[in-house]
C-alpha cells in the first residue's frame, strides 16, 4: 500500500507541475508584455529629460545671440553720437543706449539663471541615464528569461506527461479512479499527509484508533472529515 500511496503522491506532484506549466502559457506572455511596456516608459522618461536639456541649450543660444546683437546696437548708437548735430538728438541716443543696456542686464541675468539650470538638468540627466541603464538591463534579462521559459513549456509538458503515464501505469486502476474522483471534487489535492493525528488537507483531528491504524500504512484510508486519501508522514525528521 505504501508504494501505491507514493505513486499517488508523485502523480499529484506531477499534476501540480502540469498546472503550473499550463498557467505559464497564459501568465508569461502577459508578464513579458508588462515588462515591455515598463521598458518603453523608462526610455520615454529618459527621452523627455534629454529633450528638456536640449530645449534649455537652444534657449541659451537664442539669448546669447540676442545679447550679442544688442551689444552691437549699442556700438552703433555710440558711433552715431559722434555725428549728431543737436542736443535733443544727442539725448535721444543716450536714452536709447540706456534702454538697451537695461534690457541687456535683464538678459544677462536670464542667461546666468539658464546656465545654472542647464548644469542641474545635465546632472539629473546623467543620474537618469545610469539609473535607466540598470533598469533596462534588469528588464531585458527578465524578458529573456521568461521567453526562454515560455519556449520550453511545450517540451517540459511532454516530459511531465510521460512521467504521468509511467506513474499511472504503476498504480492500481481502482486507486487511480478514486484519486481522480477526489482530485476533481477537491480541486487539486487528493492525497494529504497526517501528522500528530491532524489531517493536512482539512486540519481536523483523526480519531485515535484510526490514527493508530493509519500508521501501519497497510490500507487505503480516507479522512473522515474531508474525504481525501490520507497517509501517515513522520514529520519528526523535518524538525
Closer CB to Zn ion, 134 or 207, in the complex: 207
Closer CB to Zn ion, 46 or 230, in the complex: 230
Query: Which residue's entry shows cell 525528521?
Result: 237
From the CB of 228, what's the least distance to Zn ion, in Å? 5
From the CB of 138, what's the least distance to Zn ion, in Å? 44
Pattern 193-232, binding to Zn ion, x per CB under 5 A? Answer: ------x-xx--------------------x-xx------
Size of the site for Zn ion (CB under 5 A): 6
CA distance 33 to 17: 24
Closest CA to 182 of 191, 174, 170, 173: 191
Closer CB to Zn ion, 114 or 221, in the complex: 221
Query: Which residue's entry shows cell 534588469?
Result: 138
CB atoms within 10 A of CB 228: 21
From the CB of 225, what's the least distance to Zn ion, in Å? 5
From the CB of 170, what's the least distance to Zn ion, in Å? 26
From the CB of 197, what's the least distance to Zn ion, in Å? 11
Pattern 159-198, binding to Zn ion, x per CB under 5 A? Answer: ----------------------------------------
Contact indicator for 132, 139 with CB cutoff of 8 Å: no
Question: In this structure, are strands 229-232 and 191-195 parallel, antiparallel, or unpaired?
Answer: parallel
Contact indicator for 186, 224 with CB cutoff of 8 Å: no
Pattern 54-83, binding to Zn ion, x per CB under 5 A? Answer: ------------------------------
- Compute CA distances 136 → 58, 66, 131, 154, whole Å: 29, 41, 8, 29
Work out whether the CA dihedral 110, 113, 115, 118 comes out positive or negative: negative
Residues that bind Zn ion (CB under 5 A): 199, 201-202, 223, 225-226
Amino acid at each position: 500500500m505504501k508504494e501505491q500511496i507514493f505513486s499517488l503522491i508523485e502523480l499529484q506532484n506531477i499534476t501540480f507541475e502540469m498546472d503550473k506549466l499550463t498557467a505559464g502559457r497564459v501568465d508569461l506572455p502577459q508578464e513579458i508584455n508588462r515588462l515591455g511596456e515598463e521598458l518603453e516608459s523608462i526610455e520615454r522618461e529618459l527621452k523627455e529629460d534629454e529633450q528638456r536639456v536640449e530645449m534649455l541649450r537652444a534657449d541659451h543660444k537664442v539669448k546669447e545671440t540676442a545679447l550679442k546683437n544688442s551689444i552691437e546696437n549699442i556700438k552703433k548708437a555710440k558711433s552715431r553720437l559722434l555725428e549728431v548735430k543737436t542736443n535733443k538728438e544727442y539725448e535721444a541716443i543716450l536714452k536709447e543706449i540706456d534702454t538697451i543696456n537695461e534690457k541687456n542686464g535683464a538678459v544677462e541675468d536670464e542667461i546666468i539663471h539658464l546656465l545654472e539650470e542647464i548644469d542641474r538638468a545635465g546632472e539629473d540627466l546623467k543620474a537618469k541615464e545610469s539609473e535607466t541603464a540598470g533598469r533596462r538591463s534588469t528588464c531585458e534579462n527578465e524578458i529573456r528569461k521568461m521567453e526562454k521559459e515560455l519556449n520550453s513549456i511545450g517540451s517540459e509538458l511532454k516530459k511531465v506527461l510521460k512521467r504521468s503515464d509511467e506513474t499511472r501505469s504503476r498504480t492500481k486502476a481502482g486507486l487511480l479512479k478514486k484519486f481522480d474522483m477526489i482530485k476533481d471534487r477537491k480541486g487539486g489535492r487528493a492525497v494529504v499527509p497526517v501528522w500528530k493525528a491532524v489531517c493536512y488537507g482539512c486540519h481536523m483531528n483523526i480519531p485515535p484508533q484510526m490514527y493508530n491504524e493509519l500508521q501501519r500504512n497497510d490500507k487505503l484510508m480516507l479522512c473522515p472529515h474531508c474525504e481525501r486519501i490520507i497517509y501517515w508522514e513522520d514529520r519528526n525528521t523535518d524538525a
